[in-house]
Amino acid sequence: MEKVVIVTGANSGIGLALCERLLTEDTQLRLCLACRNMQRAEAARSALLTSHTGAHVDLLQLDVGSVESVLDAAEVVKSRYNRIDFLYLNAGIMPNPQVDIRAFFKGLFSRNVINMFATAEGLLTQQDRLNSDGLQEVFATNLFGHFVLIRELEPLLCQTAHTSRVVWTSSSNARRSAFSIDDIQHRKGTEPYSSSKYASDMLSVALNRRMNGQGLFSSVVCPGLVMTNLTYGILPSSFWTLIMPIMWLIRIFTNTFTLTPYNGAEALHWLFLQKPESLDPRAKYHSLTSGLGTNYTEPRKMDIDGETADVLFSKLLELEKVVRRKLCERNADNEAHQRYLSEIE
């Protein structure tokens, strides 16, 4: 039986590299590229079919930063497939990143240089904004939209005698210090990306606590330091060109500098081959690359409190009700929205 695999943010970077690796691993996959930009998604699909003639690659219009788009996409998925084996939650944004240049150069010539590049701790801030749903954009895109997607697709993910997998692309920048359970959208902070990624780590733990018994297993991956559009958006391309030789040199001494999307997708691909029962629900699986270029995966315990993770899950449920109620009021003629409103009243 062919596996059904959905990858969000699949038209470039780590998402596209993962799709390439999955099709190389299993030519019988039914792969779905869930993307916001359909023109780029079509280009990605064409590239995949060029190297994997005969592969089954579908496209799905999905903007995880919009709850309405998530709901519409979920309806398409439910009409197209009768189950989901893997749901890779890879899409994410880091809008308007700003770098503390003084801290950067100070760290560049210090003993902390490797950790600085690996985590960007103390270097990066972002200017977040509200989206059309009235939510903080980074929170909505990196976490909440994916949460609603999982909720909508539960009938396909949780089935009798069927095991499904949810895999989050997290980050080494996910830090407890950037997250507050009293401000889950990070409205009051300046590190929404770090906050959202730590929240996704917590949500993965909460999903395992709640849904392993229903056959759904969640895992978290850190791709390492990868040069993608997200990374190149932090500093001018000319600057990256200047420091790339230094980064390749540092790579000899650390395994977290995966650098290429192919290497960064290592743990995502590795999880595809594992039995979920053998995985640690509280581990983050890191893509690592040795100085000689060998890729491998290593689990590392996450700094997550299970009870706080459950509180986050509950808060997301309440927020989902609020947002969907607003959508129902805004789309009074939409039967699906009205049916949901009647269910939660």
pLDDT for 244-255, tens place per residue?
A: 676 666 666 677
CA dist list (Å): 266 to 9, 15, 29, 44, 134: 17, 11, 18, 19, 36
Residue 193 annotated as catalytic: yes
Question: How do the residues of the chain divide into helix, strand and coil, expressed in percent and rounded to 5?
Answer: 50, 15, 35
- pLDDT on residue 225: 80
Active-site residue (options: 81, 88, 193, 285) = 193
Residue 212 CB: number of other CB atoms within 10 A? 15
Q: What is the pLDDT of residue 219?
A: 98
Over residues 123-149, the pLDDT tens digits come to 666 678 999 999 999 999 999 999 999
The partner residues of 117 in beta bridges, in order of sequence, read: none
Helix (H, G, I), strand (E, B) or coil at 277: helix
pLDDT at 148: 98
Per-residue pLDDT of 73-106, as tens digits, reads 999 999 999 999 999 999 998 876 666 666 666 6
Q: What is the pLDDT of residue 250?
A: 67
User: Looking at residue 109, what is its pLDDT?
Assistant: 61
> How far apart (Å, rounded) are the C-alpha atoms in residues 314 and 184?
12
Q: Which residues contact 210 (CB under 8 A, 6 or more apart)?
A: 310, 313
Residue type for position 294: T
Q: DSSP for 304-325?
A: --HHHHHHHHHHHHHHHHHHHH
* CA angle, residues 221, 74, 307, in degrees to nearest 5: 45
pLDDT value of residue 104: 64
List of the chain residues with pLDDT < 70: 96-126, 227-244, 246-253, 332-345
| The pLDDT value given to residue 329 | 80
Q: Which residue has the tokens 């880091």?
A: 94
- Give me the pLDDT at residue 106, please: 64
